[in-house]
A and B are shown apart, each in its own frame.
Chain A
Amino acid sequence: MTPRLLRLGLTGWRRHPAGTALSFLLLLVGATAVMLAVQLRAVALDPWQRTFDATNGAHLQAFGATPDVARVADLPGVTEAADPLPHVITSLVAGDRTFALRAFGADQPPAVERPLLTAGRWVGGGAEVALDVAYARSLGLGVGDRVTLRGVDGARPFTVVGLWVLARDEQYPANRPGEGFVGRADLERLQPDSGRWRWSESVRFARPDESDIAARAAFSRLPPGVAVQTWSGRLGDAQETQRATTIVLEVYGVVLLAAVALVLASLVGTRVLERAGELGLLKAVGFTPAQVVAVVLAEHVALAAMAAVAGSAVGVWLTPRLLADSSVLLGAAPTPLSPARVAATAAVVMATAAAAAMAPALRVGRSTVARSLRARGHDARPNRLSRRVPLERPLPVTLGVKQTLGRPGRSALTAAALTLSVGSLVAGLAFEATVRHEDALELADQARQQADARAGELAPTAPDPVPVSDATREQLKPIVHGFNGVLAAVAVINLAATALVSLRRRQRELAVTRAVGLTPRQVRLGVYWADGLLGVVAAVAGIPLGTALFLGVYQLVNGSTERAALPPWWQLALVPVVTVAAVVAVIAGPARAASRLGITTALRQE
């Protein structure tokens, strides 16, 4: 591609500033989304390992009723061991609710399996507690909040001074009871009888893969009643979570790129056709069809390259903000902009732009010079479909519908892009509905288990009034919300582009209908109907699409759709309403302007 071709491509930007801005915005959103996906993969897929490293995680842990658990530190290959850590099971009262709490007693963070503070500080003076962040979040507690811990001699007031994370196989509430650290003196106050304390010991090996063998060896040396857990067991569980994240990321990535490509194709197609005369001129002065195609591609690929760089920056900025919402991930630390990831993003976005520009570019390249010079873009024209609609009152409605049907290719592209957006919204709603449904199922299970436990006269533990939530779900939430937001942005840009492009093209036509006697209001109504129709189509097609998408992903993640739930009917009923309202909101401004533009001004255009 010679510099001259590139320069010619660039003049296209100046000639059509609004279209260029929209294309750039769209590519930017697309690039952001791709970068987000790439970053999330990089950051979110290995949160366990990152957390494990940051907390000097234990390769082997032993649990028991006596400090003897510390004997695992004598196993061969152990390089580092913490002091044995005592804890008691107590109750935490926050407001009028009571939750079980495993309270560890440590004045200093343990050397191994050392909690990483995400907020506040370690416990210092008396009556202070540092809580597991997932537990605190679930209970709605933060640093500075006051809680009550039940000791053997009654309730004691505590203040939450810190929140921390550890590399778990499962997070609260799946992993119960919730955990917190108090000072050693406070532990003694809660349970003065140290014989009733329970103990844990965390050690690290020089060669972590030896820990499983060591664990087997440990059983023979340890007194009965001592349990051990190795890091590989914990990792296995964590990987299960990652698999789900991968699937969701990839499905969303594909949906998003498809949406961006569809909108781009429609946007680029319009721009190229608008410039057909200009491009025909290039051919008239001696450009070969290949060179004309190159000019068009240059224009859009260069735009995509710029958008990719900007989008990468936005994506890098956005990733930790999305993840910060998750209690599970330790991905909150900013990940630097890696050249490889930017390159990957740019490649994907530029390829999408090139693919979208290729078809219209080829069409212009192939057509004869005379035809390109004559081309004025495609007006809507009567076809088999639009003829089916009789010209009938209310005229704005039938006129609008006929205009949409008279432009089937463009309308289909716009509707498809809108459908993807609506579909992803529906999938998001189904995700939320399933979260609620699973919570309800969990609560029912817990109640049943509790009843079973009472019946068996086992030591009753107070159940937390919080459903056991799946770590996978918690991890997916920010991703689903983030991507839905990006898809919504694509949908809005798509609408704005459609409104802008189609209104500019229809300006003459609208002016003609006004000269015939349509009032400005009727003209606006016609525009609303022309584009609102696409919204209805998208909503109707988007609901089954979104449902199928969600069920498909759920099946991939969970192996069955047994526990999946669909959004309540009223939400589904709102989807078309919201879609059409969004369409009308976006096109209202341009439609108003178009209906007020002087008739003669509009007729002069082109």
Chain B
Amino acid sequence: MRHLFLALLADGPRHGYELRSTLEQTFGSMLPTLNTGQIYTTLQRLERDGLVEGHEVPGDTRNKRTYALTDTGRTELQAWIETPVPGTRLKDEFFMKLVVVSLRSADEGRHLIDSQRREYLQSLRDLDDLARTASGDTVAALLVEGAQLHVEADLRWLDLCAQRLLPKERS
């Protein structure tokens, strides 16, 4: 999150409350509500690490500070932007459960897959509802689309698990 702050300060010094309103405008309902404390804690840490500098605004009685990027901060921001995000995002708890359970009983494995599929389907439905409320907002629409694609991939992978890990049922 701190790199996001650095990015928002790249154009020039900002007040903390300015940062907050910019975040809310850009990501809207995609982000949980931010409280003021979180923002100032983050800014203080950035200042501690020498990435930003705080300046008192003369004549402001309410102790408002503006923050500006330091050279170190600018370097750190550039490094963050240039570093690719790791491709794999599997830290799959479900998979571990499935393997353990399937060893014990195929039926339990099947049950696990079914309930996971229900979960994914429900997620897709929720995302679809979200897409409808957020229509017209490009950033939000893209985010939802990405999430949907991920869930679809999960569903497809679920089918693979069922096919390869569990023996076919015969009646």
Indicate yes or no for A touching B, C-beta below 8 A: no
